[in-house]
């Protein structure tokens, strides 16, 4: 993986293009709540999600070299709201989520070389809308999902072990691997019933060397269903999502976490509230896009100036719920199908003119 340019090394704002969007053709079967994972060979694996039917196990592959979609077989168990993590050996771990009638504790592995799915043991607890973080030693930290508990997956033994408890019960939080190997878990919510949410402003750190969780500074504003991106300078950008109690309202606020002192500082507000995906681009900017709170636009955050600018017009709406940075610097944005809506995909080219 090539090194990312720091904001100071990136082109000046006047030289940076807003980028362009292109709609992709082809049939996409994944649903809402699917996952997208970049494979070693440059293809993107899409898996699961809620569809209008009861089978949520479909998976497919996008090849940016040919622009074609191909099937990736069916997962052993259908699921949505799960996590998907590429392991050091190139296989992909899919874990947890919820199914048509229950919450699976199962996990499975996709092997890109054979195109097959195999069982990867059972999680210690059922969870959905959780986070999964590949640690530096190759294990995977799975946390939250309506719980305070966390667990570790060992790909060598295909075993799950406890990783202690977070300081808060969380779901829909973000988890970011820091340069020093710790994991920042921020925000999320405690669900209190149908259309009743309690967003969190708290954040905490997991230290793999000690296996412990410790609280760090609170965010300036509570965020849930938000985005997070590790910047080239080691700080973490948290942006958008929702806030408020009861029925959530989209917010435009953004803030930066400094792991050196555990503090949060405000940065420029987004142009439009919402946003469900955040992608660090090769030039150091962050692309925030998605359908959070009805947002169908996309914008770029410049860490050098702390400002947001609109990208070129998107090819279609809804904007998408997963975003994958591909090897050539373009971003694949996918919106899954649900309740009769068709799935859609589009490509963002940061070097294209609007």
In angstroms, the CA 73 to CA 137 distance is: 30
Are 190 and 200 within 8 A, CB to CB?
A: yes
189-196 contact pairs (CB < 8 A, 24+): 189/224, 189/225, 191/146, 195/246, 195/247, 196/245, 196/246
Nearest Cα neighbor of 228 from 239, 217, 218 is 239
Residue bearing the bigger pLDDT, 245 or 226: 226
Nearest Cα neighbor of 311 from 293, 330, 292 is 330
pLDDT over threshold 50, residue 11: no
Work out the percent of the chain whose per-residue pLDDT is above 90: 71
pLDDT at site 292: 52
The pLDDT tens digits for 154-195 are: 999 999 999 999 999 999 999 999 999 999 999 999 865 545
The pLDDT tens digits for 60-107 are: 999 999 999 999 999 999 999 999 999 999 999 999 999 877 788 999
pLDDT over threshold 80, residue 315: no
In angstroms, the CA 336 to CA 49 distance is: 7
pLDDT at site 316: 72
In angstroms, the CA 276 to CA 224 distance is: 10
In angstroms, the CA 275 to CA 269 distance is: 12
pTM, two decimals, is 0.92
The pLDDT tens digits for 20-73 are: 999 998 778 888 899 999 999 999 999 999 877 667 899 999 999 999 999 999
Nearest Cα neighbor of 198 from 161, 164, 165, 223 is 223
Angle at 170 between CA 167 and CA 175, to 5 degrees: 85
């Amino acid at each position: 993986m090539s090194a990312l340019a720091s904001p100071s090394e990136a082109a000046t704002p006047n030289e940076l293009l807003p980028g362009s969007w292109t709609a992709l053709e082809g049939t996409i079967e994944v649903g809402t709540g699917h996952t997208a994972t970049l494979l070693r060979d440059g293809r993107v694996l899409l898996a699961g999600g809620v569809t209008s039917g009861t089978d949520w196990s479909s998976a497919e592959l996008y090849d940016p070299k040919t622009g074609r979609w191909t099937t990736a077989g069916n997962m052993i168990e259908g699921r949505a709201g799960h996590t998907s993590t590429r392991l050091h050996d190139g296989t992909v771990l899919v874990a947890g989520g919820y199914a048509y009638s229950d919450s699976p504790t199962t996990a499975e592995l996709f092997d890109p070389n054979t195109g097959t799915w195999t069982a990867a043991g059972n999680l210690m607890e059922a969870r959905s809308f959780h986070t999964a973080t590949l640690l530096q030693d190759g294990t995977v930290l799975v946390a939250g999902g309506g719980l305070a508990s966390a667990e570790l997956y060992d790909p060598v033994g295909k075993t799950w072990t406890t990783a202690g408890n977070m300081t808060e019960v969380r779901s829909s939080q973000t988890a970011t691997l820091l340069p020093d190997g710790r994991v920042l878990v921020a925000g999320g919510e405690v669900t209190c019933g149908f259309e009743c949410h309690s967003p969190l402003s708290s954040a905490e750190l997991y230290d793999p060397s000690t296996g412990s969780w410790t609280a760090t500074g609170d965010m300036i504003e509570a965020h849930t269903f938000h985005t997070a991106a590790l910047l080239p300078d080691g700080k973490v950008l948290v942006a958008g999502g929702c806030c408020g109690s009861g029925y959530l309202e989209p917010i435009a606020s953004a803030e930066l976490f400094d792991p050196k002192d555990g503090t949060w500082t405000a940065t420029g507000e987004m142009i439009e509230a919402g946003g469900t995906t955040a992608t660090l681009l090769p030039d150091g900017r962050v692309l925030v896009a998605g359908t959070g709170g009805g947002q169908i636009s996309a914008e770029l955050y410049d860490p050098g100036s702390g400002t947001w600018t609109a990208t070129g017009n998107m090819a279609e709406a809804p904007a998408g719920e997963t975003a994958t940075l591909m090897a050539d610097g373009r971003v694949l944005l996918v919106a899954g199908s649900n309740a009769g809506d068709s799935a859609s995909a589009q490509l963002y080219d940061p070097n294209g003119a609007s």
